[in-house]
Amino acid sequence: MALDIALLVGLVLAAALAILAKDLIKAAVALAVSSLLLGIVFFRMSAPFAGVFEISVVAGLITVLFILTIALTKTDGEVQESRTALWIFPIFFIVFIAVDALVMKGLTAKIATLPAGPESGAFGDVLWKQRTFDLVGQLAVILSGVFAVLALFRKRDKDE
């Protein structure tokens, strides 16, 4: 339990660092650290497949894409973030956490849950047999993502 709390606190701190860091590369690396910690939390929740996806895809691939974009968009003038935004963040965060702590218990008591029996079988059965339609949707999403990136980088026609 103590390790879980330490991991979750580290996760939130890394996410806050990703927001607040001035250097974009540092922000991207902090985001990768936070998803690494999230993957470890998933492993500790006995969800190894989600943990593997989180660490390999989100911490690996998405960080590479972010760093590639930061390298491609180097500009002379850095974007000036407003100073009050950085200054207000700790106050906002403390107030938010306090409200969160007060409200969350009442909210979770009100959430209606569907009755569901305990699961049995392997993860593969659930993914391939129960959620087959989701997999078709995932294929469609990947294809549409590929076509969107292709469309965005299409060369102009000569007569334009």
Partner 1 sequence: MNSHWLLYLFFAAGLVGIGLYALLTMRNLIKLFIGIEVIGKGVSLALLATGFAKGNILLAQSLVITFIVVEVCLVATALALIVNINRHTKSLDVRKLTQLKG
**CA–CA separation, 136 vs 138, rounded Å?**
5
Residue from 29, 34, 36, 40 in contact with partner 1 (CB under 8 A): 34
Residue 23 touches partner 1, criterion: CB under 8 A: no
**CA–CA separation, 73 vs 89, rounded Å?**
27
CB of 76 to partner 1, least distance (A): 8
**CA–CA separation, 65 vs 127, rounded Å?**
28
| Stretch 59-118 residues interacting with partner 1 (CB under 8 A) | 61-62, 65-66, 68-70, 72-73, 75, 77, 79-82, 85, 88-89, 92-93, 96-97, 100-101, 104-105, 108, 113, 116, 118
**CA–CA separation, 129 vs 125, rounded Å?**
5
Residue from 3, 6, 98, 127 in contact with partner 1 (CB under 8 A): 127
Residue 41 touches partner 1, criterion: CB under 8 A: yes
**CA–CA separation, 85 vs 108, rounded Å?**
31
